[in-house]
Structure formats: structure tokens, C-alpha cells
Chains A and B, each alone.
Chain A
Amino acid sequence: MSTTFDLDGQPVPFQPGDTVIAAATRAGHTIPHLCWDPRLGPSGACRLCTVEVNGRPAAACTTRALAGLRVACQTEPLQQRRRQLLQMMFVEGNHFCPSCEKSGGCALQSAAYAAGMTGPQWEEFYPQRAVDASHPALWLDTNRCILCKLCVRASTELDGKGVFAIGGHGIHTHLIVHSPSGRLADSAIAATDEAAQICPVGAILPKRRGFAVPIGERPQDTP
């Protein structure tokens, strides 16, 4: 028996246990998101996948698909809300794209392009957390971290190493490394780990490899 819900006027089939975003993505639809990955459990951190479910806002990554749900994704109010969320993420960190090695391949940046974000409307926080360059193959700049927790979940759920965690409260919440010294070099992480590669922004990067792809050929470049 096939069951469907309605996404912007189109029927989307789903399997029992599916979230709205999982079923929609499998059916070829795009719901903007930053902290969701089909291989990992949901996080509900970024709020970018917020849609209207039966008229009320809900995160598509934590909402179970049900037969007959009416889901709206591409509406102007939701687009406006996404722009605001993205502006918040930008002012919270030091997102100086002009010198970031992830520019052109960054999910935060491309989500902001897609939402038509041009400038911020809030004051910059300019966080000043120290870069961790202790690891031989990786480096960590948490001033660019958006707390999506993809690395935390990949490290526990896929790699089984539990290298990352989230520490602090409120605006002081930040990514921490699970090692006696708190440094990446003293953790179990390897450059080949999923946790080392899953970062959607420029927070966790490989060393000695940057600006390797010509402008115009980067994953998020438009023709």
C-alpha cells in the first residue's frame, strides 16, 4: 500500500518511519538544510529545513511523514525566514568567504546564495576562538563552525570514535575535541574518517590542500 503526503501541491510517497525531508529528498525534491544527512540521526539544530506542516512551522528533519500531511516549503515567508536564519549564522561566526578554502564548496554559503542573502542586519559577534592546528593532517577553525553537529554524529554513529562533542551554553556553545588535552592531535581522528570530511563549512579542513579547484569549477559554482 502506498501512502503519500502533499509537498507544495505534489504527492510524495514515503515509507513507515520516514521523516518529511528523507521522503522528499528520495522523491527528488529539495528542502534547504545544513545539519541533516540521510546516513545520520536527526539533529534539528540549523532550523533551515523548517517547512509549514498543516499550517504550522516544523523542522522537516524531525517531523515524521504521515499520510495526508500538507507540507509547504517554497513560500515567500519561509524563504524570508531562511534568509534571517542564515544571517544569524553568518554574524555568529567569522565567515570571511574571500579567504576561506571552503568557498565555492560550502553548504552555508550556497544556502545563503540560494536564499538571496546579500547582507546582514545584525551586529557581528566576531568570535575569537583559537585555531587548532595540532593534528598532522587536519586543522580546526571553530570561528566558522555552525554547530550542525554533523562531525559529532559522524564520529559516534559512523566512525565509532566519538572525537567531537558540544560544550558551553548559549552563545558560548562551541565544538570541543574529546581528548585529554582538548587538542585534535591527541584525539583518535584520522583524515580518512567521515567526521573529518563531513563538515559542511570551513571549520574542519585538511592541511596543505586549499584553493586546489579553479573558480568556476567548484562544487557550488553556477555557470
Chain B
Amino acid sequence: MSRPRIATVSLAGCFGCHMSLLDIDERLFALAELVEFDRSPLTDLKEVGPCDIGLIEGGLCNAENVEVLRDFRRQCRVLVAVGACAINGGLPAQRNGRDIGRLMAEVYHARPGLAEGSGIPNDPELPLPLARVHPIHEVVHIDHFLPGCPPSADAIWACLTALLDGRDPALPRPLIRYD
């Protein structure tokens, strides 16, 4: 029987939730026995394939984030919003009160110390930012929320093992934290 497949991704994240996943330490060996990793910052796969579990870190801040999130929703049976950013936009959503055009101009054009002629990057290769940062459940259906900034390694482990056992990954009180 083939092992369950897990995909992970960081959208408008800081990779901190992935670091917290690595914080399960030697339990990573047990996890490597239990599952197969699909697309993830930890593997070299470029596209997400059919998976049992998708772990999403980060909110949505640009067009590519939305495209990748939709790919994950299409391919993953169970999608988990991991961390404060995926859940409510997180600290990056503090930009939501500001005009994105003005923010870009402030950083790439008007900031002191920039080289002469610096301007807002405009190559079509680059994904356009969204007007506002959004949590991922506003764009696709999310099956489970794993809060924390980041969630503790124990919370991630509890959630993963429950899902792999086919149980509801409801966290006990001490593993729920938003900060």
C-alpha cells in the first residue's frame, strides 16, 4: 500500500511555520516512514500532485499565491490552514489600511538611498500584489485550522498524526495558541 502524500507551501508566509514543522525534531524520521512528501519547499517537485494532506502557511498577498492555493485545493483531499497568516491574514494584513500603490512607490521609488531612476518593478514575470492581504479560507474551502504564530511543533505533530490516523485533529486546550 502506498504511503499518504503530504504537500506543503508557503504563500504570504515567513517560513516560520515550516521551521516549526521541522521542530518536531527526531519525529521527522517517524514522519518520513509514515508519509511521502509531494510539492514542498523541502522537496524539488515544482507542481503539486494528488495528495492526502496539504499544509498551507501564509495568507494571500499576490496573484501567484491565489493560483497556487487553488492548485493545492484541487489536488489535496484535506487542506489545513497553518499559522496566523493563513488563518486571518496575520501581521502582513496590517498593510490593509494602506494603498498598495503608495506602499510600492514608497519602497521602490521614494525611499532614501535608492539608486537614481529606481521605480516599481513592472516585469510581467512578477506577480501583481493584491489590494489587500486575505486569509486563505476567503478563497478556497479549508478543512482544518492550526493556529499559532507559529503553531508549536507539538500542535503540528498532534494535527498530522490525528489526520494520518483518520481522527479529527481537534487540539487540546494547551496546544491552541494564536501568538
Contact = CB atoms under 8 A, between A and B. Distances in A.
A118 B91 CA distance: 17
A222 B94 contact: no
Contacts, number: 78
A78 to B, nearest CB: 17
A99 interface: yes
A98 interface: yes
Given A118-B144, A119-B145, A96 B176 contact: no
B174 A99 contact: no
B173 A222 contact: yes
A120 B177 contact: no
A114 B173 contact: yes
Interface stretch (B44-52, B107-115, B122-130, B134-142): B134-142
Interface string A81-98: 000000000110011111
Interface size grouping (class) on chain B: 20 to 34
Contact of B137 (A100, A121, A126, A222): A121
A109 interface: yes
B177 A113 contact: yes
Contacts of A126: 89, 93, 96-97, 132
A97 B97 contact: no
Interface size grouping (class) on chain A: 20 to 34
B146 interface: yes
Nearest to B150: A98
23 contacts: A91-B88, A95-B88, A96-B84, A96-B93, A96-B94, A97-B179, A98-B90, A98-B179, A99-B91, A103-B179, A112-B178, A116-B176, A118-B145, A118-B146, A119-B137, A119-B144, A120-B87, A120-B88, A120-B145, A126-B132, A222-B173, A222-B174, A223-B174
